[in-house]
Amino acid sequence: MIEKMNLENILFLDIETVPEQENFDELDSEMQSLWELKTQYQRKEDFTPESFYDRAGIWAEFGKIVCISVGYFTLKSDIRHFRVTSFFGEESKILKDFSNLMNNHFNQPQHVLCGHNAKEFDIPFIARRMIINQIQIPNKLNLFGKKPWEVPHLDTLELWKFGDYKHYTSLKLLTKVLGIPSSKGDIDGSQVGHVFYVEKNIDRIVIYCEKDVIATAQIFLRLRREDLLIEEEILHV
């Protein structure tokens, strides 16, 4: 049960992704054709492949990671802190730095990862981009041969479903109904590509990503019926 889990053993995470190229016409002809095939059912007749390309960031084959933010609890002498840090810059460096964190600090049997919809999006996306970038996948992300109960991942979306697999609840909606201060600032996920390529404002993306990590941790605390974090307990490192 999550109430009995040691908070210090959980690494909360969130990623931000963008299309791998800024514009559709920067893809080679084969990738353009593959994009058209990949998205034909999502686009239907409403969008051309080119006009749909701003959504390429949600597919690991056509997108890339521009930020991974993580957060973890430290509990010393009954003083609770939540430490948040981010990896950003060139994608292969982001992935290598995240892999080093996993291998050196979150590689014990008791350690687990936690995100909102992370089992469906964040974790598979990270693993796929590591393969594409020829980076060895950390043990905690390598699920080959593992039984469902052996997978060291938690997902606040899955916890909120309570077995209802048809149900989807966004992070923004869940924080609202649980009385948690909103994680969302002045941008949303659909605007990350514009902020990255046009505004070239990675700091804005990092802030947005870290807010999502904090919100996920707050949801986890609420599910445990524990006090929410206050601003003084959150440390950006």
> Is residue 25 domain-resident?
no
Q: What angle do CA 195, 199, 205 make, to 5 degrees?
A: 35
Q: Are 104 and 47 in contact (CB under 8 A)?
A: no
In the chain, % of residues over pLDDT 70? 98
pLDDT band at 62 (very low <50, low <70, confident <90, very high): very high
> Is residue 143 domain-resident?
yes
174: CATH? 3.30.420.10
Q: Is pLDDT of 183 > 70?
A: no
b/e 25-38 (16+ beta carbons within 10 angstroms → b): eebeeebbeebeeb
Q: How does the average pLDDT of the chain come out, rounded? A: 93
Range(s) of the domain holding residue 189: 2-20+62-236
> Is residue 54 domain-resident?
no
Predicted pLDDT of residue 128: 97
> Is residue 36 domain-resident?
no
SS3 assignment, position 36: helix
Q: Is pLDDT of 83 > 70?
A: yes
Question: How many domains is the chain built from?
Answer: 1
Burial class (CB in 10 A: 0-12, 13-18, 19+), 183: buried
Residue corresponding to tokens 């991942």: 153
> Is residue 98 domain-resident?
yes
Kindly report, residue by residue over 99-154, the tens digit of the pLDDT.
999 999 999 999 999 999 999 999 999 999 999 999 999 999 988 878 877 788 99
> Is residue 56 domain-resident?
no
> Is residue 49 domain-resident?
no
> Is residue 75 domain-resident?
yes
In the chain, % of residues over pLDDT 90? 82
